[in-house]
Structure 1
Amino acid sequence: MRYRVRHLTEYQYSSAVTLCYNMTHLLPRNTPKQQCLSQRILVTPTPIYQSAGEDYFGNETFYFSIQEPHKKLAIEVECFFEIEEEDLPNQLQLHDMTCGDLRRLLAQPWTPELRMVKEFMLDSTHIQCSKLLRDYAAETFADEVPVLQAALDFTHKIFTEFTFDATATDVTTPAETVLKERRGVCQDFAHFAIACIRSVGLPARYVSGYLETLPPPGQEKLVGADASHAWFAIYVPELGWVEFDPTNDLMPNGQHIVTAWGRDYADVSPLQGVIFDGGETHSLSVSVDVQRI
């Protein structure tokens, strides 16, 4: 399956920004099931300096600086992908390592890969483990339950017990608050799932990207109606990192396009940097189009 993705981010400032330095996580990464065929990024005003790079987690980064006064900043990314679907039911049937087996394996990590995986069991900027979260997830991730089945059941548990609400939270909302309110957005549900999984002693990481949305039958797809999205992945030896989407109660397979992954949102935020001046207020608009070709 092939896709074209266009992502447009625009900032409007109340007064001119005189200087800015920024780093983006908007360019896609290649994975075993996803290959980027081509990509371009266009920044307006034209940067005086720009360069592509790679961060600690292997994500594609793009640095730029603008040294002319501007009240509007636009970043447009266009990419073409090819994605292969996986036999997910077969994965669930054939890989039966239990949560207890994985915990015992991680207690004495004997390979470099396992030692690196343990980094995703620790607290991070937006994720803190706790007894409350451990108690909520403990039964689902009991020792005798296969890891993949437990993750799938937990994905369904979040989907059925929590409500999607774009006004209930922000990027700093703690996982315990999400548990208490039972409301949030994809970012919250990903953070919450990761915090719970780490609290029961298993490794989980944050995945950001795009999700193709399909219009109701008989209606045309609206321009800009697709979305940036977030989900999580859990580590299973031999398979590696296996992804789950609690917002949509499924295992991503074909319609999810990965841009970056890390410990949490702080590692992969789409745009971060420093600006000088710009006034007291600004507005942000984001438009995403995911088109099958």
Structure 2
Amino acid sequence: MTGTCYQVMHDTHYAYDAPVSLAKQLAHLWPRPCAWQLCRNQSLEVSPLPTQRIDEYDVFGNPLTRLAFERPHDALTVKARLEVEVLPRRAPDTRLSPAWEMARDSLCYSGQPMPRDLLKACRFRFESPFIRLKKHFVAFADSCFPPNMPLLEGAQVLMGKIFNEFTYDANATGVATPLLEVLEQRRGVCQDFAHLMIACLRSRGLAARYVSGYLLTQPPPGKPRLIGADASHAWVAVYCPANGWVEFDPTNNVRPGLGHVTLAWGRDFSDVSPLRGVILGGGSHDPEVQVTVTPIEEALPTG
């Protein structure tokens, strides 16, 4: 089975107002091993050199790199370089999925032993740091889930509703903007739209998880692909007992495919932030992030 190969460059730079004496960082910058993608090559350049580096997996099975810096520094640069092949995946017929009520009930505690897949899906039914379960989210998605609506069909309708009723606005929200405010303003970014769709599904008793990764963007006709013009992306996976996890991208109203590179998944953004940590010192600082996703045949030297 032939896929599409990409080169991904993800550069993060911190310039601190004051020296940082100690720091620890968690990096989700390696692509997750999946049935639909293969990582052909990967490298991580860190400056200054960390005093300790540990590569492991987090509780959700995502590759995780722990970095510790125990010497003073006034800047931090982390450069990830990846070559990833994304493979075609078969899309289920959303109309043939079980009714959403049946999927919801299968995730409820019954006092009987639960299959492993269902048990693992249950952790994605509840509130998480950025996602609350509210009646407002149930009401917003009511028209998408009438009685006996096939689960995946309802999820697809919900994806389209968010796409059509919300405006992408990079200046409208921040990382900590409450979802109820996003719902009221009808503006946000991919992180907000993914969180909103998950909140609508979980508030109905369904299991949904947050997926982070990269999306290939197409330059205008006749224009070159810009270095650093892309960004990290986010979408949603819904658990369907008959089909497993099925993904939806509410920002673009598409089912993720060959243009989506999967990095990690968790309950929400807080579980899979590309780079986060704690520092002693530093003063105020904001990261500069550049992401470029390029088909291998167009790839530029990474020098």
Q: TM-score, normalised by structure 2?
A: 0.92
Q: Please list every run of 5 or more consecutive structure 2 residues that lacks an aligned counterpart in the other structure.
A: 297-303
- The answer to whether 1:271 aligns with 2:279 is no
Instruction: Tell me what 2:220 maps to.
Output: 216
What is the rounded CA distance, in whole Å, between the counterparts of 1:169 and 1:115 in structure 2? 34
Instruction: Tell me what 1:171 maps to.
Output: 175
Instruction: Tell me what 1:256 maps to.
Output: 260
Instruction: Tell me what 1:232 maps to.
Output: 236
- 4+ long deviations beyond 6 Å: none
Question: Does the 8 A contact of 2:95 with 2:152 survive in 1?
Answer: no
- The answer to whether 1:35 aligns with 2:38 is yes
Which of 231-240 and 182-191 deviates more?
231-240
Which of 177-186 and 231-240 deviates more?
231-240
Instruction: Tell me what 1:206 maps to.
Output: 210
- The answer to whether 1:2 aligns with 2:25 is no
Instruction: Tell me what 1:18 maps to.
Output: 21
Instruction: Tell me what 1:124 maps to.
Output: 128
SS in 1 for 2:181: helix
SS in 2 for 1:289: strand
What is the rounded CA distance, in whole Å, between the counterparts of 1:264 and 1:282 in structure 2? 24
What is the identity, as a one-letter code, of the residue corresponding to 2:230?
Answer: D
Deviation at 1:211? 0.8
Instruction: Tell me what 1:105 maps to.
Output: 106
Deviation at 1:68? 2.2
Deviation at 1:260? 0.7
- The answer to whether 1:156 aligns with 2:172 is no
Q: Deviations over 1:90-148 (max 9, x none)?
A: x1257421112212222347312212211111011110111111111123123311111
Deviation at 1:217? 0.8
Q: Deviations over 1:128-176 (max 9, x none)?
A: 1111111111231233111111111111100000011111111122221
What is the rounded CA distance, in whole Å, between the counterparts of 2:42 and 2:145 in structure 1? 40
Instruction: Tell me what 1:286 maps to.
Output: 289
What is the rounded CA distance, in whole Å, between the counterparts of 2:114 and 2:93 in structure 1? 25
Question: Does the 8 A contact of 1:212 with 1:227 survive in 2?
Answer: no
Which of the residues 26, 46, 54 maps onto 2:49? Answer: 46
- The answer to whether 1:185 aligns with 2:212 is no
What is the rounded CA distance, in whole Å, between the counterparts of 1:182 and 1:48 in structure 2? 45
SS in 2 for 1:249: coil
What is the rounded CA distance, in whole Å, between the counterparts of 1:94 and 1:2 in structure 2? 31
Which of 187-196 and 27-36 deviates more?
27-36
What is the rounded CA distance, in whole Å, between the counterparts of 2:139 and 2:66 in structure 1? 42
User: CA 1:87 to 1:94, structure 2 compared with 1: closer, same or farther past 3 Å?
Assistant: farther
Question: Does the 8 A contact of 2:56 with 2:63 survive in 1?
Answer: yes
Instruction: Tell me what 2:299 maps to.
Output: none
Instruction: Tell me what 2:72 maps to.
Output: 69
Q: TM-score, normalised by structure 1?
A: 0.95
- The answer to whether 1:140 aligns with 2:144 is yes
Q: Please list every run of 5 or more consecutive structure 1 residues that lacks an aligned counterpart in the other structure.
A: none
What is the rounded CA distance, in whole Å, between the counterparts of 1:105 and 1:258 in structure 2? 27
What is the identity, as a one-letter code, of the residue corresponding to 1:34?
Answer: Q
Identity rate, percent: 44
Question: Does the 8 A contact of 1:25 with 1:62 survive in 2?
Answer: yes
What is the identity, as a one-letter code, of the residue corresponding to 2:68?
Answer: S
Instruction: Tell me what 1:114 maps to.
Output: 118
What is the identity, as a one-letter code, of the residue corresponding to 1:236?
Answer: C
